[in-house]
Amino acid sequence: MKQFIISILFIFYINNVHCQDDKVINFLGTLELPGKVIIPLKVSFKQLPNGAIEGYTITDIYGKDNTKTRITGILDGKKNLLSFKETENISTKSKSDKSTFCFIEVHNLKIRAVIDKKIIQGVFTGKFPDGKPCTNGNIYLVSEDFVDEMAKEVLQPKYISKEDSLQKLKTLYADLKLKSNLTILEKEEQLSIKWKSKDLIIELWDGSADDQDEVTLYINDLEVLEKFTISYQKKKLVLPFNGDSCVVKLLANNDGKNPPNTASITVRDGEKSTTLMTKLKKGESAYIKLIK
C-alpha cells in the first residue's frame, strides 16, 4: 500500500498554484494513450473576463520530449465544464519534426470537487498540425493540494523506516517539484523555442546555490562569455538576432563547489520570456535553439 501511494505521489505531483489574484489555475496528471502508455501532463491557464481561457500544457514533464504548448479554450463556471485545445508549440526538447507533433483537444470535461480537491477526467482527441487525427485516449488531472497533502502524510519516518530512504524520497519529491515548474537541460539536451523578436536578451545566474559554477556561453559557435563565474546576481546580455535560427550553447567549465554545475537562464523575446536550468558536469554542454 505504501509503495502504491508513493507511486501515485510521483506520477501526479502538482506544483504550487498561483494565488487567485493572478487567476492562474494549475493542474497536473496524465494522458493515457492506447496500449496503456502514460505521459505526464501539466495544464496551466488564466481565465479571461469573457469565460475564455489561455495558457499552456507541458507534456512529458520529466522526459526527453518535454514540450510546452499554447492552449486556448472555455471554462464554464456555472456548469464546471472545461474545454481547450493545443494550438502551437512554445518550446520543446523533442527532436521530432514539427509536422509529427500531436495536439490534444478536450471538450466539456466536468470539474468535480471532492473534499475541496478539484478532479478532472475524461477523453481527449489528438490532431496533427494538418488537422488529421493522430491519437486519442483518457486524461486525468487533479489540483495541487491533493498531492501536497499526500506528500505531507506519506513522507514521514513512521511510513519509511530507513532515514536514508526517506531523504532520497524527499529529494526526489523536491526535484519533481522543480522539474514540473522549470525546464531542466542536461548533457547534450536541446530546447527549441519559437521566436519573433530581432533581438535576443539573455539573463544568466546561479539560482540554485552561489557555489562558484563557471560557464562559457556561445551564440552560433561564437564565444560571447568566456569562463564566467555565475552568482545570484544576474548577468544580462543584449544581442542582435539575424537570420532564421540561432543556437545558444552553454558549456560547464567546472563542477563548482557543489556538483553538478547548475545555471539558470532566461531568454527574452520582447515581453515573453522562457526560464530554464542546466545541470551539467565539467565539459558537458546544453543548447537552446531559437527558431523564427
Q: Report, as an integer, the average pLDDT of 255-267.
A: 94
C-alpha span between 199 and 181 (Å, rounded):
26
Evaluate if residue 43 carries a pLDDT over 60: yes
Evaluate if residue 176 carries a pLDDT over 70: no
Evaluate if residue 62 carries a pLDDT over 90: no
Query: According to the model, what pLDDT value does residue 12 have?
Result: 44
Which range among 18-32, 93-107, 167-181 shows the weakest confidence by mean pLDDT?
167-181
Query: According to the model, what pLDDT value does residue 163 have?
Result: 54
What are the start-end ranges of the H helices in 65-160? 144-154
C-alpha span between 244 and 195 (Å, rounded):
9
Q: Which amino acid is at 14?
A: I
| DSSP-based three-state secondary structure for 131 | coil
C-alpha span between 180 and 16 (Å, rounded):
10
Q: Which of the four pLDDT bands, split at 50, 70 and 90, describes residue 147?
A: low
C-alpha span between 213 and 155 (Å, rounded):
32
Cell of 71: 492552449
The strand ranges marked E within 146-213 are 183-185, 190-194, 199-205
Q: Report, as an integer, the average pLDDT of 150-162.
A: 53
Query: According to the model, what pLDDT value does residue 51 have?
Result: 86
Evaluate if residue 75 carries a pLDDT over 50: yes
Give me the domains of the chain, ranges plus CATH numbers.
Answer: 2-148 (2.40.128), 184-291 (2.60.120)
Evaluate if residue 11 carries a pLDDT over 90: no
Contact by Cβ (8 Å): 238, 201: yes
Evaluate if residue 109 carries a pLDDT over 80: yes
Query: According to the model, what pLDDT value does residue 188 have?
Result: 95
Q: Report, as an integer, the average pLDDT of 94-121.
A: 88
Query: According to the model, what pLDDT value does residue 5 have?
Result: 40
C-alpha span between 288 and 137 (Å, rounded):
32
